[in-house]
Structures are given as structure tokens and as C-alpha cells.
């Protein structure tokens, strides 16, 4: 039996909807009264694990799940040893650098050397500013990173932006985009190579479902 790791949060509903198109029903995870973190599809083809988004690639990399669905932003940050298979074309967002709207900084290169940049995406932020050859201090925050510039703890943030509403409501503006992100289908490399549980067929059906207009 195959096991899929599904992300809690914004990607869950569309992930479940996509899996339903290939006959796998994990909609019980959407029931507000459900407290189970592992359920079996009614057809008996697969089990679903409901995990924190950042943990999806961990379960897949270590083989507790043969495949999973997660945002590209998590793949970029974590760099897990997984097979990156399909862009699922939902969950669009972008990784951006933002500053206070009143800030004099119009581009990241305008930031003074050794500025503080708050982010939960520490690796991505470090890589980006290293590519600019601009030394900054990355301040790891895992809650509302917008508070960094608001409180004066940091000059900028690196964070995921969807609509931009949260930035605007807190007086921040984007000054550049590092990359765009959507949900991706990933798999355990050995499981995929060995076609465990006819995984290849499932992946192709999911790819077709993504490419077929509704």
C-alpha cells in the first residue's frame, strides 16, 4: 500500500481534490471534527499522512511516505533528497524581499552592509544575499516576520507572499522577487525507481489530471 504525505494548511484542499481525480479520497482530513493524522483511502489503495508542510519532504525522504505534495518554497529551503516530479500548478506564491514603505531602500542592493533581514527561510535568504555579495545578518523568525521591520529589529524580510495583503496592511512593500512557487509532487527516489506500488502509473495519472483542463 502506498502512503502519501499531505500538507496541513493552504495546500490541503487542492491536494485532496487532485487526488480524488485519480480515485484516492482523503477528504476526511477536511472534516473539522476529525483528529486522525493517518487515514486509509476507502479503496484501500493508499494511506494518507497529515503533516506540517515543512515535514512533508522529511517523511518522503525517509521513506515513511512514498510520495507527497508540498510547495516549491519548502523544497528550495530544505533541499531534501527526493524525486521532484510534477508542477501541480496550484498554491501560487512568491518569495520576496520586503521593507517598510517609508524605507529609503528601493532595491536589496540598497541595504547597508550587515543589515538585519528577518526570515523563516534562512537558507534561501542567505543564498540570495550571498549572490549579491552583500553581507547581512539573517534573523530567524518563525511567526509573523512582518514585525521585524515594524519593530525596527530588521531592515527587511524575506518571506512568502501570496496576495500581498498582509504586507500592505502592515506598511511593507516588496522590492524584489527571488522566485515563484507552486505545489509540487515529490517521491521517495528509491520507491520511484523501483515503481513501488505501481507508483509510476499513479504519477502519470496525476500529471494528466493537472494538464487536462477542467
Cell digits for 146? 512582518
* pLDDT score recorded for residue 214: 59
For residues 146 and 160, give the distance between their C-alpha atoms in angstroms, rounded to a whole number.
11
Q: Which residues 6+ apart lie within 8 Å of 11 measured at CB?
A: 53, 69, 70, 71, 90, 91, 183
For residues 41 and 116, give the distance between their C-alpha atoms in angstroms, rounded to a whole number.
47
* pLDDT score recorded for residue 159: 97
Per-residue pLDDT of the chain in tens (214 residues, 90 and over written 9): 899 999 999 999 999 999 999 999 999 999 988 889 999 998 888 999 999 999 999 999 999 999 999 999 999 999 999 999 999 999 999 999 999 999 999 999 999 999 999 999 999 999 999 999 999 999 999 989 999 999 999 999 999 999 999 999 999 999 999 999 999 999 999 999 999 999 999 999 999 999 886 5
For residues 141 and 121, give the distance between their C-alpha atoms in angstroms, rounded to a whole number.
9
Element (H, E) at 142: none
Element (H, E) at 72: helix 72-78
What value, to the nearest 5°, has the Cα angle with vertex 55 and ends 9 and 127? 100
The DSSP secondary structure of 92-133, one letter per residue, reads -EEEEEEEETT-S--SGGGSPTTEEEEES-HHHHHHHHHHTT
Amino acid at each position: 500500500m502506498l502512503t502519501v504525505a499531505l500538507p496541513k494548511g493552504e495546500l490541503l484542499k487542492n491536494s485532496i481534490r487532485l487526488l480524488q481525480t485519480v480515485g484516492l479520497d482523503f477528504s476526511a482530513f477536511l472534516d473539522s471534527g476529525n483528529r486522525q493524522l493517518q487515514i486509509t483511502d476507502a479503496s484501500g489503495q493508499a494511506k494518507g499522512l497529515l503533516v506540517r508542510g515543512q515535514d512533508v519532504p522529511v517523511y518522503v525522504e525517509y521513506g515513511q511516505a512514498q510520495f507527497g505534495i508540498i510547495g516549491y518554497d519548502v523544497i528550495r529551503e530544505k533541499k531534501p533528497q527526493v524525486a521532484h516530479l510534477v508542477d501541480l500548478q496550484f498554491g501560487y506564491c512568491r518569495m520576496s524581499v520586503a521593507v517598510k514603505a517609508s524605507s529609503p531602500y528601493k532595491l536589496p542592493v540598497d541595504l547597508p552592509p550587515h543589515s538585519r533581514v528577518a526570515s523563516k527561510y534562512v537558507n534561501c535568504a542567505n543564498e540570495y544575499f550571498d549572490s549579491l555579495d552583500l553581507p547581512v545578518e539573517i534573523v530567524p523568525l518563525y511567526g509573523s516576520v512582518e514585525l521585524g521591520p515594524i519593530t525596527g529589529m530588521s531592515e527587511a524580510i524575506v518571506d512568502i507572499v501570496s496576495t500581498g495583503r498582509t504586507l500592505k496592511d502592515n506598511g511593507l512593500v516588496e522590492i524584489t522577487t527571488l522566485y515563484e512557487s507552486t505545489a509540487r509532487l515529490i517521491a521517495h527516489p528509491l520507491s520511484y525507481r523501483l515503481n513501488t506500488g505501481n507508483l509510476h502509473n499513479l504519477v502519470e495519472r496525476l500529471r494528466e489530471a493537472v494538464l487536462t483542463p477542467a
